[in-house]
Structure 1
Amino acid sequence: MNFQRTPMARAMVTAMAAAASLPLHALAQTEPQTLAPVVVSATPFSASEDAQILTPAKILAGSELRDKLGTSLGETLSHELGVSASAFGAGASRPIIRGMEGPRVKILQNGMAVSDVSSLSNDHAVAADFGTARQIEILRGPAALLYGSGAIGGLVNVVNERIPTMLLPKPTGEAELRASSADRGKALSLAVDGSAGNIGLHLDAQVHETDDYRIPGLAAPANPASASGRLPNAFTRQRNVGLGMSHVADWGHIGASVGTLDDHYGIPTDERAFIDLKKNRYDVDGLFKDPLPGLAAIKFKLGATDYTHTEKQQDGTPVTDFLNRTLEARLEATHLPLAGWRGSFGMQTEHSNFAALSAATGTPDAVPKTRSTSVAGFLVEERDFGPLRASAGMRIEAVKRAPDAASGLARRNFDLASYSLGGLWQFMPGYGAGLTWSRAQRAPSTEELYSNGPHESTSTFDIGSPSLGKETSHNFEISLQKTAGLMRWKANLFQNQVDNFVYGRIPGTRVDEAGAIDPTGEFTQRFWSQGDATIRGAEAEVSYNLRGEGWSLRGFADTSRGHLKGAGNLPLQPATRYGVDVGYRQGDWRSGISLLHAQKQDRLATFETSPTAGYTQVDASLSWTQRYGHSRITWFALAKNLLDQDIRVATSVLKDSVPLAGRNLVLGMRVNF
């Protein structure tokens, strides 16, 4: 594998030098301690984030999550190792993991699919209630074995524990109020848990509003007539509320929840369109301990989603209605050790009805009414052989796409098979070396197969291909890590070879809203096509005392390159990045400063026209906690983009006309009780 050596070497030297430069008295004032493991819920073994083999993991929780919280899920996760964001204004930004985006990155909420349409286009928001999340889990790499073909590139799991799994002796919760300067933003969130007898109760809610955000210069530097000062039509208005309850006993629990989300946000393009999004979600969750001989537990989940969003013109005229109604069921059993092997097996089904219809006539506009069904079985096992922990797994899945008969389009059936083998060798206490190979398959999505119409917000006329074949990814990864002590580090090298990679090919032809060629038309043709692709990359991270008092340090770097066989670079690939975070905690005070540098990204696809300039982003935080009995009040200040840089990310289709926000000060208070 050929990796870009210079940036990574420079980044590793920077990170190691920063660690080595800590003054000795600063190191000495922090007593050695055992750091509490952070448990990843979206894994078969509920292992800590340092023990993952099949899918390297990262968890955002507690104060770290609250400091990084943004107006979108992509913005919240954009500084994590191997993760960037699509950055389609403030309202819509989806995570991109190791250069893969859209339907290859699955978004979960409490272990079940979010079931929105954010994978269809970058202007569609992720309909997850992340503002009240207890933790957000990032699984980079081949997570397809447990969660389906949509996770071929990785997954993000938003955990808000809406269905209680334990009884609390008294009500507990968290409330937060914050305001931000760059976008005149205001946010209020609340999450409360309690119990009445054997019934666990949960309530969460959030209101978040922002105006058009401030930008350092021109929206489009090449166009002096473009907006300056503030980015027009970049507002957001979001409200969500969730209720949950469950019966909890020694044998386990069974419960249900309901949640609703309203999201209203602008699309910062010349058309000044905006989107009204509504989602209702219903979930059932159960766990039965020691249900049958040989089984430690049986878990089942059931989720139903009614999702709709309407794209509207600047004057409020509805243009297109996107509808997605889904029903998902999941049954998973954990068996007792058998010949030394520990593991889980189960089944998962998903039924969805999706369409993109003309708001005026109700007839298919961009995508015809399509019924999709998937049925899957999975098995994941692990076993220790002395210092070697081995993992193996498989998933067999059948996917059916059935467009409405009136469309005249053919039904498609896909049989998918995914496998994974991995090992983690603890060659000395606290040190490990890992090796993972996986083969994962993905069925083309509904829009990739059947699109045929204009998309107002992206100004593209999307044309699908009903003959697309399934994607097959062969992923190979080597890792080295130190997971004990105050000083920890890890490094990963990976290669992902994808046969029949589906991508949007843009030859540059202009068309009108009916698809007829028109040099002055407002839409650009985009064809869903296939080719063989290879993505190679490297990641490294070193940290000191991330969760203890005194000084803390994190240095990191990541890089990836994607190529289409015979067709140049993959589009929208992330820039090489490296950065340093330095923090200090003492008693009730906590502070930190972070620096992220992204290099120039000029590895463009054949139809991309402009490179993305490098940038340096500096953020800072300061907080103080007051204690009143069993309650705590935390006053916090966050400064983002302190240097007021004109930041444009290479993974955004609007990078030439939509920069990120300029200098932003966030003030707020948080009450834990």
Structure 2
Amino acid sequence: MKFFVFLSVGLVVFNTYPTTVWAEDAVELSEIHITGRKTPQSGARLDSGSKSVLYNSDLQSVRAISLGQTVEKISGVHNNSFGPNNGLPQIRSLTGSRVYLMQNGLGISDMAGISGNLPSAVEPFLADKITVQKSSAAVLYGGHAVGGAVQVETGQIPQQLPEKNFGGKGEISGGYNTPTTQLFSLTGKSGQIAWHIDGMNNKISSYRVPGDSKAAICHNRAEINTNYPLTLLCQVSRNYEYFFNQGFYKYVDRNYLLRGKDYLDQYELDISDVYRRDKPSYGNWVENPGYDPSVTEGKGRRLRSIEDVTPNEHGKMANSHMHQQSVSAGVSYIGADGYIGLGVSRYLNRYGVPGYASLSTRAGKKNALSPVNIESSQARWLLDGMYRSQQPWLDNVRFSFAHIDAANRELLGNQFADSLNSQSNQGRLEINYRPIQWWQGVLGGDWTQRRTNGEGVDRYLPDTKTIEYAVFALQKFNWGNWSTDIGARHGRTRQQAILGNYQPGRGLNEGYIKQHNNKMFELNSYQAALKWQPAEGWETGIRYSRSQRAPEVNELFASNRHYAILTNEHGDPRLQPETANTWEFSQQISWRNSRLKVNYYQTRFQDYIYLGQTGTDKGDGLPYKEWRQGDTRIEGMELEASHHFHLDRYGTLEAKVFVDWVKNSPVFTGKNDSNSSSWDEYVRRKNDGDYMPGLPASRYGASLVWSKGNWMLSSSLTHYLPQKHLGRVINEEISLGGYTIWDMYLNYSHQLGQSAQMEWFLDARNLSNTEARPHNSTLKYLAPLPGRSVRTGVRVSF
């Protein structure tokens, strides 16, 4: 409306002046030529699924050691923590091999999806931009993206010439209860050649925690006495005393009264064999002279004490050391029609898992619990190129290829236990086109080949070989205030176990792995979405996706102690692909300086693959679990709202609030245990419960970001509710309560000379020093989140 008023007034004013007046005041302006190119089209940009983007300015206050910690403040996204040094993004309750992790366009090592304790080999501190795709991205990236995708961009291979011939940034930081960090990132150009190099070093000896490292429930006598699986999770043992009260019994064997212990020894009897509450009809029984009617118990056992078989540190998290290093470099040729570049990176990480395990008698000492330590390294080569067509219908053709060589060693103390190594090649091709103005599309294909191998007689996985290939298409149409996208993917996955001299552990897989060691799966995924803008600033959408994922190698072939995740893990090579059918509804309203976004989603999994409880162990203190399948339903909601305040001379203020909740529950056809339709349903209900164990807790939060001139201050509060959707770990899960995390970030920047800028910052996490044990953390009974931490440092950019 304002535009039309302005235009009308302008026309009236223009017509009231004679043309000669305008002619007299006319000034001839010099001609200015402006050149530029639009952002290249890509499949990720065409996909209409729900996504959140963290730019460099957003990342300053949320960067953390792990990718999961960095993105956990996005609604619907949690950190699937495996101790303070490692965490994967958990999107709408899904993580691991269901969330695809990428760096600069291609997947990073997927060993972290197989073994959650392993690092994801990506450095959030070096990221320029992180995009989180919360909807299924299986059409673009395959079954590993059935729960979403995370793309990390570091600028390793320059895609355009930088403005300066030489520039970069550096950072040094450290403080209380936080790693010391040094990093640098440099870019430059020479003619049409652009280059980039970066590196980082992170180190900490241990983390401080409020209170004890183990949860209080681990020493609750009533709970520990009746909950054996909890003793395994808490790594404690129960010491019992056995009692026998002779005064409880009215009758005694007369022979015992006459001969005492000699009578027991002669007939190999126990003391309980010669006392009875009721007089037997056989033998020579007489009234017990020591009978006492006030005694209420005859025999049994009492919990005498609870013993920590692993350390329970006060104020300190056991075995939480970490030393992480990385370096990467890239160079590219950039021309008028695109670019082509090559990059290489090296990643090293050595850290402790706050859990302990014992080697079997085959590998070393018996019954000697030792801390679990990880040594991880990765080398990654990346080739990336794009052709920018001059044809109006063809936007670009992009191709990428990566080779990854990763080595992961699990140690108990300093003693080698086993290793999980991988060598993989992956390629991707996208043809992005726009035949007419209202139609955009992408056709593409991708291919992955991976081999895993390991050492150690206790390793839980045989050598494996994986081949995946697929073709996909995604089309987007716009007309008026409507838009829609339609996509499909067809692919195949082969999983093969190379047994050799591998000896499966005792369990489910022992009887099947030799017969079913070569599996082929055919996968099809589809998606369709429709969006409508009924008014300016208001957008409503609906999206449907059908996504398929093949079982991973550990889900098929695992068969031994997996020390690093504190589980005796056993796969099942008879597993079939899982299929997720998802409906998603979205509303987004933008009005002036305010924005509101709401998403509701519901997913129905057919043959959902999960790690099921058995309630047993093999005498090694590790819970014995099996990979199984069953229908599962996921339902959740996300809400985000923000408003920008312009405070004139006091700067600007941005206020945000968010809420999210998710519920992940098995689908049972029977109404109760007695009439469940199958034995599998009965076992799942009894062992795992009516909700999936380890669900992320519902939460809500608020944040403020104030900036004025050279100053920036942000603060956030996030409250996690006690988990009320409790599954079972044989016994019902235990909620460790809710908690609130308060974070704050302060930044002051100023010029340093004519071409450099210096930033001083203070980054404080968990300011209230709250004991926080996320319900979705595997190690929640052994390791809370770190306590109050304060990191201070300086950044220089030039």
The verdict on a shared fold, with TM-score over 0.5 as the criterion, is yes
Larger radius of gyration: 2
Instruction: Determine which of 337, 362, 376 is the counterpart of 1:277.
Output: 376
SS at match of 2:61: helix
Please give the residue correspondences for 1:586-601 in structure 2 after superposition, counting only pairs within 5 Å: 586-601=708-723
Aligned pair 1:261/2:385, yes or no? no
Aligned pair 1:661/2:780, yes or no? no
CA distance in structure 1 between the aligned counterparts of 2:321 and 2:593, rounded to whole angstroms: 42
Q: Give, as a single letter, the amino acid of the residue that structure 1 aligns with 2:557.
A: Y
CA distance in structure 2 between the aligned counterparts of 1:280 and 1:291, rounded to whole angstroms: 36
CA distance in structure 1 between the aligned counterparts of 2:459 and 2:771, rounded to whole angstroms: 37
Q: Indicate how the Cα distance of structure 1 residues 339 and 430 shifts in structure 2: closer, same or farther if over 3 A, else same.
A: closer
Q: Which residue of 2 aligns with 1:502?
A: 609
TM-score w.r.t. length of structure 2 = 0.75
Q: Give, as a single letter, the amino acid of the residue that structure 1 aligns with 2:743.
A: D
Runs of at least 4 residues off by over 6 Å: 39-42
CA contact (8 A) 2:140 2:472 kept: yes
Please say which of residues 267-276 and 603-612 is displaced more in the overlay: 603-612
Please say which of residues 536-545 and 600-609 is displaced more in the overlay: 600-609
Q: Which residue of 2 aligns with 1:4?
A: none
CA distance in structure 1 between the aligned counterparts of 2:522 and 2:442, rounded to whole angstroms: 22
More helix by percentage: 2
TM-score w.r.t. length of structure 1 = 0.89
CA contact (8 A) 2:417 2:459 kept: no
CA distance in structure 1 between the aligned counterparts of 2:448 and 2:536, rounded to whole angstroms: 43
Cα deviation, 1:411-461, whole Å, max 9, x if unaligned, reads 111111111110111111111001000100000001000000111122211
SS at match of 1:508: strand
Q: Indicate how the Cα distance of structure 1 residues 40 and 198 shifts in structure 2: closer, same or farther if over 3 A, else same.
A: closer
Q: Which residue of 1 aligns with 2:175?
A: 180
Q: CA RMSD in A?
A: 1.9
Aligned pair 1:557/2:667, yes or no? no
CA contact (8 A) 1:439 1:475 kept: yes
Shift of 1:292: 6.8
Shift of 1:165: 0.8
Q: Indicate how the Cα distance of structure 1 residues 473 and 355 shifts in structure 2: closer, same or farther if over 3 A, else same.
A: same
CA distance in structure 2 between the aligned counterparts of 1:638 and 1:575, rounded to whole angstroms: 25
Q: Which residue of 1 aligns with 2:322?
A: 236
Aligned pair 1:77/2:110, yes or no? no
CA distance in structure 2 between the aligned counterparts of 1:108 and 1:457, rounded to whole angstroms: 24
Q: Give, as a single letter, the amino acid of the residue that structure 2 aligns with 1:624.
A: Y
Shift of 1:410: 2.5
Q: Give, as a single letter, the amino acid of the residue that structure 2 aligns with 1:335.
A: Y
CA distance in structure 2 between the aligned counterparts of 1:545 and 1:155, rounded to whole angstroms: 29
Q: Give, as a single letter, the amino acid of the residue that structure 2 aligns with 1:441.
A: Q
CA distance in structure 2 between the aligned counterparts of 1:485 and 1:259, rounded to whole angstroms: 44
SS at match of 1:267: strand
Please give the residue correspondences for 1:427-442 in structure 2 after superposition, counting only pairs within 5 Å: 427-442=534-549
Identity %: 27
Instruction: Determine which of 446, 466, 472 is the counterpart of 1:372.
Output: 466
Please give the residue correspondences for 1:87-126 in structure 2 after superposition, counting only pairs within 5 Å: 87-126=81-120
Shift of 1:293: 8.1
CA contact (8 A) 1:181 1:666 kept: yes
Q: Indicate how the Cα distance of structure 1 residues 541 and 293 shifts in structure 2: closer, same or farther if over 3 A, else same.
A: closer
Cα deviation, 1:183-204, whole Å, max 9, x if unaligned, reads 4x20011111111111110001
Q: Which runs of 5+ in 2 are unaligned?
A: 1-37, 220-307, 357-369, 503-513, 669-684
Shift of 1:620: 1.1
Q: Which residue of 1 aligns with 2:691?
A: 569
CA contact (8 A) 2:640 2:658 kept: yes
CA distance in structure 2 between the aligned counterparts of 1:168 and 1:642, rounded to whole angstroms: 39
CA contact (8 A) 1:40 1:59 kept: no
CA distance in structure 2 between the aligned counterparts of 1:88 and 1:663, rounded to whole angstroms: 19
Q: Which runs of 5+ in 1 are unaligned?
A: 1-38, 512-517
Q: Indicate how the Cα distance of structure 1 residues 260 and 229 shifts in structure 2: closer, same or farther if over 3 A, else same.
A: same
Instruction: Determine which of 729, 740, 744 is the counterpart of 1:616.
Output: 740
SS at match of 1:46: helix
Cα deviation, 1:107-153, whole Å, max 9, x if unaligned, reads 11112010241111321111113221111111101111111110000
Instruction: Determine which of 450, 471, 493 is the counterpart of 1:352.
Output: 450
Q: Give, as a single letter, the amino acid of the residue that structure 2 aligns with 1:404.
A: I
Shift of 1:102: 1.1
Q: Give, as a single letter, the amino acid of the residue that structure 2 aligns with 1:77.
A: V
Please say which of residues 247-256 and 287-296 is displaced more in the overlay: 287-296
Q: Which residue of 2 aligns with 1:388?
A: 482
Shift of 1:405: 5.3
Cα deviation, 1:506-560, whole Å, max 9, x if unaligned, reads 212011xxxxxx3xx3222110000000000000000112999511100000000
Please give the residue correspondences for 1:217-228 in structure 2 after superposition, counting only pairs within 5 Å: 217-220=211-214, 221-223=216-218, 226-228=312-314
Shift of 1:630: 2.5
Please give the residue correspondences for 1:238-637 in structure 2 after superposition, counting only pairs within 5 Å: 238-270=324-356, 271-290=370-389, 294-314=393-413, 316-338=414-436, 340-358=438-456, 365-404=459-498, 406=500, 408=514, 409-483=516-590, 485-511=592-618, 518=619, 521-545=620-644, 549-566=651-668, 567=685, 568-607=690-729, 609-628=733-752, 629-637=754-762
Q: Give, as a single letter, the amino acid of the residue that structure 1 aligns with 2:169.
A: E
Cα deviation, 1:234-284, whole Å, max 9, x if unaligned, reads 111000000100000001000100000000000111331211100000000
CA distance in structure 1 between the aligned counterparts of 2:83 and 2:560, rounded to whole angstroms: 23
CA contact (8 A) 1:546 1:554 kept: no
CA distance in structure 2 between the aligned counterparts of 1:154 and 1:488, rounded to whole angstroms: 24
Q: Which residue of 2 aligns with 1:672?
A: 797
Shift of 1:178: 1.3
Please say which of residues 141-150 and 540-549 is displaced more in the overlay: 540-549
Please say which of residues 161-170 and 320-329 is displaced more in the overlay: 161-170
CA contact (8 A) 2:462 2:499 kept: no
